[in-house]
Amino acid sequence: MVSVLSSYYEKFLATGEVKCIDEEIPFEIPQGWEWCRISSIFQLNPKIEANDDTLAAFIPMEAISAVYSSEYSYYERRWKEIKSGFTQFADGDIAFAKITPCFQNRKSAVFSNLPNGIGAGTTELKVLRPYGETINRFFALYFLESPYFIDEATFKGTANQQRIASGYLENKLFPLPPIEEQCRIANKIAEVVPMVDRYGTAQTKLDNLNVELKNILKKSILQEAIQGKLVPQIVEEGTAQELHEQIKQEKQKLVKEGKVKKSALTDSVIFKGDDNKYWEKLGKEIHCIDDEIPFEIPASWQWVRIKDIFQINPKNVAEDNCISAFIPMQKICATYGSEFYYDEVQWKTIKTGYTHFADGDVAFAKITPCFQNRKSVIFIGLPNGIGAGTTELKVMRPYGETINRWYLLYFLKSPYFIDEAQFKGTANQQRIITGYLENKLFPLPPKFEQDRIVQRIKQLASIMSR
């Protein structure tokens, strides 16, 4: 590849064709350097020949560190165990992860001191081997970790699993200095990286502290809110007991219309007795629930069970060709707000096998870690007012306009709801236990107080985001 009269040209040895590549040149390089295609100066994914019983290194992806250096660990294996079905490499080879997000996190390494100088590992690696001692390995590593290589990459695959596009590495232009200059550059980078790392670590700690402080404040505000400590109580706004009666009337109306089952009318009543203890009455049975009460609430509030004041996972009815929203888990944001995205699809494609919801419904992720990350939303503005999505959602629908949706959302993000949850499942995939949501005690304020609480939380959130 040569520069002639300030333009760059590439000659193809097989055909003798010469073409101008000015539009590909990303930046100017010093005199004495040369632009080269990666495929012309490195062997890519070379193969290893070794005896089956030779000890070798086995390196899975998790054993390669995501840092601006070359840190990795390995397990010793017989070559026959790893020679097939894995990516092979040897001492002096340079490798990087070709899959996201490992690629962007700069999982890359220069291999050295491997058992018998050889190894194999994850198939999600690309391996480069210089021809002889023409390339300083660490200069090549720093190139692979540079913004020029990382940020310009193109990918193929699904949203959850993407790899760099075929040919991206092979055709990438590599700025090649003389070998002595490569060594000086690599040595200088190695000299300054520890200082940058120390600064970066300190800055990261400060950033994390700021984020954690904001999270602590948000959690504290939400906890104060659901305990009735965020805004004063106003007698003229009525009581939660009156609101509870209104909820019962809304349910009776829906039962008469055939929209809700009659079993929804079997509410329990929670009250404070003359003995200053909390009691729950369900039908003719009364029992003390003092040990369930998590904190005191104002006298105008009332403890209720969630199943008594919300419809849980209600169903939609719509025409098959009705355009509706499809919302997988990745389109729900993990925030203290309500952010989500959707794809428009016909109702017939999502009406079975997915969780239903509609405008005004409030939903939260029931699976870890999405649950703890507060993936919860108020659905609004859905196409034709309906949608369906991930089966890992629990959906709640208030009866009429008795509950402020934002008050409910903040309750679902509060430490009381998040931190006390119990789970079942494997270590990698756990869900809240059956009944946790339905039987959870909900601190119910009068409707106007709910509105004032929401307004105050949003005011404080606005101040904290500055």
Cβ atoms of 379 and 387 closer than 8 Å: yes
Cβ atoms of 142 and 187 closer than 8 Å: no
Cβ atoms of 380 and 325 closer than 8 Å: no
Angstrom distance (rounded) from CA 369 to CA 425: 13
Q: What is the DSSP letter of 455?
A: H
Cβ atoms of 366 and 393 closer than 8 Å: yes
Please name the CATH architecture into which domain 2-177 falls. Answer: Alpha-Beta Complex (3.90)
Angstrom distance (rounded) from CA 64 to CA 97: 9
Angstrom distance (rounded) from CA 88 to CA 325: 45
For the chain, which residues make up each domain, given as ranges? 2-177, 235-260+303-464
Angstrom distance (rounded) from CA 172 to CA 144: 11
Q: Would you state the pLDDT for residue 202?
A: 67
392 HSE (CA, 13 A, CB side): 18
Angstrom distance (rounded) from CA 272 to CA 289: 10
The CA distances from residue 365 to 218, 309, 361, 441, in Å, are 19, 20, 14, 19
Three-state DSSP at 288 gives: strand
Three-state DSSP at 182 gives: helix
Cβ atoms of 393 and 350 closer than 8 Å: no
Strands 423-425 and 173-176 turn out to be unpaired
Q: Would you state the pLDDT for residue 199?
A: 66
Question: What DSSP line would sit under 314-380, residue for residue?
Answer: PPP---TT-EEEEE-GGGB--SSS--B--EEEEGGGTSSSSEEEETT-EEEE-BTTTTTTT-EEE--
Extract the tokens encoding 203: 């800055």
Max CA distance (Å), the chain? 99
Angstrom distance (rounded) from CA 454 to CA 337: 12
Angstrom distance (rounded) from CA 205 to CA 368: 26
Q: Would you state the pLDDT for residue 196?
A: 67
The CA distances from residue 334 to 285, 365, 370, 374, 376, in Å, are 41, 10, 7, 5, 7
Task: Please tell me the CATH superfamily of domain 235-260+303-464, with its number.
Answer: DNA methylase specificity domains (3.90.220.20)
Extract the tokens encoding 276: 């200053």
Question: Do 2-177 and 235-260+303-464 come out as alike in CATH topology?
Answer: yes
Question: What DSSP line would sit under 130-171, residue for residue?
Answer: ESTTSS-HHHHHHHHTSHHHHTT--EEE-SS-EEEPTTHHHH
Q: Which of 353, 352, 331, 341 is nearest to 383 (CA)?
A: 341
pTM score, two decimals?
0.58
Extract the tokens encoding 423: 């789970």
- Positions in the chain short of pLDDT 70: 1-5, 159, 196-197, 199-202, 206-207, 209-214, 463-466
Residues 28, 34, 37, 39, Cα dihedral to 10° = -150
Q: Would you state the pLDDT for residue 278?
A: 93
Angstrom distance (rounded) from CA 269 to CA 279: 8
The CA distances from residue 375 to 62, 102, 458, in Å, are 27, 24, 18
Q: Would you state the pLDDT for residue 3?
A: 55
Q: Would you state the pLDDT for residue 303?
A: 96
Extract the tokens encoding 69: 């250096």
Q: Would you state the pLDDT for residue 161?
A: 79
